[in-house]
Amino acid sequence: MRLNGKIALITGAAGGIGSVTAKLFAREGALVITSDINEEGCRNVLVEIEESGGKGDMIPADVTRETDIINMFNRVREKYGRLDILANIAGGDFEYNIGVTEISDEKMSYTIDANLKSCIFCCREAAKIMMDQQYGKIVNMASIVYRGSPMQYSYSAAKGGVYAFTRTMALSLGMYNINVNAIGPALIEVDIIRNTIGPEMWEALKADTASRYPLGRVGQPIDVAYCALFLASDEASFITGQLIEVSGGSRL
């Protein structure tokens, strides 16, 4: 098992990508601490992990609140004394499909808080633990929209910030044997998108998008989870500061 005996914390663990990643990490031997603002969803993932013979725990948190983040990492340190892996998966586009003249302070701020500031604060708190133990793997969730995307202004800016911050953290933490990398997914089939735009529009979007991807399909959560697993494992011990696009070749 690739993560045998590791302690892993996954934010956004109740979501489509986060839940699949949490269960995969547990199957690979990690004790997985699930965290999400959705406490019931977080608990459901934990139950699935334990029913499958894995080990887990849960610490619900709202990662747009710095105090929640600090308390979460304090609990990890107090209970386990270490943290080997952090996967920052929490986030989302909360100002989707709007024109540039429609950008609002409220939605822009929340999008940046949920995606960029949460990543920065979680990495800061994880670093305090990982620097002491001289070991750690951090996997941040960016997006291919870090390159820019029409009608996704604040989200693109936030994910571009995640990539820049990932590179900066990698430069700072390499001397402590801490690897910091990011994943840039393209369109991934998750319930939150399907439910937001409706099943009919989702099927049209899915078909159109798949026709433009060289691999002929949109991504699945497991595609992202396997990339996260690799970056969280010691197989990626000489990789840091990188963004790996899980995109079906969509931006070639």
Q: What are the catalytic residues? A: 155
Measured between alpha carbons, how far is 83 from 80 in angstroms, rounded to an integer? Answer: 8
| Strands 7-11 vs 85-88: parallel, antiparallel or unpaired | parallel
CA 93 to chain centre: 13
Measured between alpha carbons, how far is 19 from 97 in angstroms, rounded to an integer? Answer: 26
Structure tokens at 199: 């099943």
Q: Show the beta-strand stretches assigned E in 18-149.
A: 31-35, 55-58, 85-88, 136-141
Q: 251 near 144, Cβ under 8 Å?
A: yes
Q: Show the beta-strand stretches assigned E in 1-153.
A: 7-11, 31-35, 55-58, 85-88, 136-141
70, amino acid identity: I
